[in-house]
Homo-oligomer: A and B are copies of this chain.
Amino acid sequence: MHGAAAGSTGCRAQIIYNRMTAKKETIAQRIARLLAERIVSGTLEPGARLRQDHIAEEFAASHVPVREAFRLLEAQGLAVSEPRRGVRVAAFDLAQVREVAEMRAALEVLALRHAAPHLTPAILDEAEAATLAGDKARDARTWEAANSRFHKLILTPCGMPRLLAAIDDLHAASARFLFSAWHSEWETRTDRDHRTILAHLRRGEVDAAAEALGRHVRWIGRRPVETASGRRREAFVIQG
């Protein structure tokens, strides 16, 4: 849903009301967007300090727009700020991943129910193509972009901007987890889930489609993985 690493959005409210106007982005928005990409993709690790002077220097700006960018990132839940003690990349544990998954499920189901009457065969074909692209993806970035496209395609026709913006933010939070846990060997169940949802939609079975989407988004799996140092640990998987 969310552009995530391949072009993360920016401020939530901006998204709600300026998504289409979007004349020129301010320096603050640009900085927020680029930092969001790094946070979502894991380049900036959870807990990492974001120092306004350093960032201002890197982007050849003063720290005023940097501070505004921090507020935008806070609103997305990607950064946390303690007064007088600076801003850090938000941490996220399994409990938060669960919380985000539940919220996404609730809101995406709502969006799908309102979008369903406006879905055309053409849109569903595009969504199928996105699923196929996800199948063939061999890296997290590509997979996440395709997954994003699928969800966006079937939900956008709901025409509820605030709802879509909220879903976007939640998707960015999910994507962070995806990037941190991605393993190219994983055979996800995502393709099958996506196709089930599409099949129901094609047959006009909105309730069944909504239920499948809810289960799909809520699903969090776990499987053992081998770390770089050869140790075994448990990792968690999401279907996107």
Chain A: residues with CB nearer than 8 A to chain B? 11-14, 16-18, 21, 23-26, 28-29, 64, 67-68, 71-77, 79-84, 90, 96, 99-100, 102-103, 106-107, 109-110, 114, 160-163, 166
Contact = CB atoms under 8 A, between A and B. Distances in A.
Given A11-B74, A68-B71, A75-B75, 10 more contacts: A13-B75, A13-B76, A17-B80, A17-B90, A24-B83, A24-B84, A28-B71, A29-B83, A103-B110, A106-B107
Nearest to A80: B17
5 contacts: A12-B74, A21-B82, A26-B84, A64-B67, A103-B107
Contacts of A79: 13
B163 A25 contact: no
Contacts of A25: 83
A189 to B, nearest CB: 23
Nearest to A71: B71
A13 B80 contact: yes
B163 A81 contact: no
Contacts of A11: 71, 74-75
Given A24-B83, A82-B21, A106-B110, A99 B160 contact: yes
B14 A162 contact: no
B99 A162 contact: yes
Contacts of A80: 13, 16-18
Contacts of A17: 80, 90
A160 to B, nearest CB: 5
A158 to B, nearest CB: 9
Contacts of A73: 13
A17 B93 CA distance: 13
Given A13-B81, A71-B72, A80-B13, A102 B163 contact: yes
Nearest to A91: B17
